[in-house]
Amino acid sequence: MSGSIRNLEREYNCTVRLLDDSEYTCTIQRDAKGQYLFDLICHHLNLLEKDYFGIRYVDPDKQRHWLGFTKCIAKQMKSQPPFTMCLRVKFYPPDPAALKEEITRYLVFLQIKRDLYHGRLLCKTSDAAMLAAYILQAEVGDYDPGKHPEGYSSKFQFFPKHSEKLERRISDIHKTELIGQTPEESELNFLQKAQELETYGVDPHPCKDVSGNPAFLAFTPFGFTVLQGNRRVHFLNWDEVTKLKFEAKTFHIYANQKEDKKIILTYFAPTPEACKHLWKCGVENQAFYKLDKSSQVRTVSSSNLFFKGSRFRYSGRVAKEVMEQSAKIKREPPEIHSFMFLLLSLSLSGLESLRDSAHSTPVRSVSHGDSFMPRHRHHTTDAGEGGSSQRVISDEAYCPSDSVLPTPMAEHSLELAVARHPNGAPCSIEEEESEAGTPEGQVAEFGPDGRVLRLGRTRKSLPNKEVQELHKFTLSVLRMFLVTMGLLFALLSLLIMLTESDLDIAFLRDIRKTPEFQQFHFEYFCPLRRWVACKFRWMGGFLIDK
């Protein structure tokens, strides 16, 4: 019943969480495609260099997906409306400093800052201190003893965990090395520093190797990488990767290295859906970074047999075309203003006052015509008691927190607004809550400000996994049967043409002498040939009379 009601709806409400954690809410038509929603968001942000970004959503099984721009939105979403998605960087720029406009650099800066906070950007302690100092300079400006008392850097949460020693190092760099840098300069230096790291642009996919050891697979602007423990164990340039394949939960990477050395890497994803998502991400990244023109993009099959497996084609421009198009931008760049809103003035208890001001909302607005984008930079206050190792800012093993944790559903939205650690830091799932769609069987009603007003239950409109798997198996068998029958018909037609021809081959002579062929020739083929010839003569005479 719920499926029928949904099909009768002409419009759907859609909420997209932006990189600054603000929300963009709109109404889309039932047959609207992903490109329409993406263009709306880019117009709202006054963004022209939009090929690096994408819209991500999470299905009721907590599997992440990139919204397809050429497909209908309602058909892609497996949850009930209203739909909830988020804007994220899909293709990281190989050189962030080469981006044409500052608004694009700022959005990439916000994405990488998220990566750093949630453990996806792995780095040495010295690099981590420098990155955090750049963020601090961009947020609060030059160090001022009157405004920044002892321990002020501990009010900002840059990493999943960090020590007091690292906090002091961040403060020292901010006080001495970054004086005079504008927010724009600090953000640009942050991007250039992050781009040098091995895990720049990593969107980790949890898998296991053939020995059962956990690993994270990722696609970066420079190639395919595998992370295990706290180090990178495999890296293949895009020029070396020749083919990506998957079957059920198994993912294969074929590559040619130096001296014609061919290798095959095999990993196992948690579910077939996760493996398919991994494969599609790899196909898109390889096409975007490796090809010279979008006209070179071809449809890719996940299997060697053309009648089996999935087929996918990347739709969009490639990196080189995006850079060429960006160079042609002639508009006046949007003006970006930096300022801080302090909720409370400093009092005698300077540290307590700074704790309050740390929760203020520094905003950088983009103005261009009627376009306006408020960019909220949310600060957290968890100083992080866990110590860091001497080499990396993360746990001993590479463990990106929220990119792997289950995505919270709509029923948690009210709790997320007030959920905090005892010391005031936001919950660790805050990053990915923007990617959660309404779960299957639930309908959420949102108010004008994007808050949840009411949660209700509906009947499940989707079949369970067993029915879906049976449906897929049936389609696969039917496809194989049709292809087999087509091949047999084609071979039979070719054999008949050869035997009825004048070719003098021993094999064909033997066939022509058989009684079965003689019967087929005189009783079926000759009458059919006369009938076809008669029809052609009649059509020819009709055309001549005309």
- Percentage of residues in the chain having pLDDT higher than 70: 73
pLDDT band at 375 (very low <50, low <70, confident <90, very high): very low
- In angstroms, rounded to a whole number, what is the distance separating the alpha carbons of residues 300 and 244? 9
Does residue 175 register a pLDDT over 80? yes
State whether residue 302 is helix, strand or coil: coil
Q: Give the pLDDT of residue 365.
A: 40
pLDDT of residue 63 exceeding 70:
yes
Q: Are strands 452-457 and 442-446 parallel, antiparallel or unpaired?
A: antiparallel
Is the model's pLDDT at 449 over the cut of 60? no
Which positions ≥6 away from 346 have C-beta within 8 Å?
A: 146, 147, 353, 354
165 or 364: whose pLDDT is higher?
Answer: 165
Mean of pLDDT values over 381-396:
36
Least confident of 33-47, 256-270, 342-356: 342-356
What local confidence, expressed as pLDDT, does residue 332 receive? 83
- Indicate the pLDDT class of residue 302, thresholds 50, 70 and 90: confident
DSSP 202-242: ---EEEE-TTS-EEEEEEETTEEEEEETTEEEEEEETTTEE
Per-residue pLDDT, averaged over 520-541, amounts to: 83
Cα 401 to the center of its chain, rounded Å = 17
> What's residue 101's pLDDT?
92
Angle between helices 125-140 and 183-195 (to 10 degrees): 160
Rounded to an integer, the average pLDDT of 399-422 is: 34
Q: Specify the pLDDT at position 163.
A: 84
The CA–CA distances, whole Å, from 232 to 123, 256, 377, 406 equal 12, 19, 31, 25
Q: Check pLDDT > 70 for residue 2.
A: no
Which of 470 and 338 is assigned the larger pLDDT? 470
Query: pLDDT tens digits for 473-500?
Result: 888 888 888 988 988 888 888 877 777 7
| DSSP letter string, 257-280 | EGGGEEEEEEEE-SSHHHHHHHHH
With beta carbons less than 8 A apart as the criterion, state whether 252 and 266 touch: yes
pLDDT digits (tens, 9 = 90+) for 186-232: 999 999 999 999 999 999 999 999 999 999 999 999 999 999 887 89
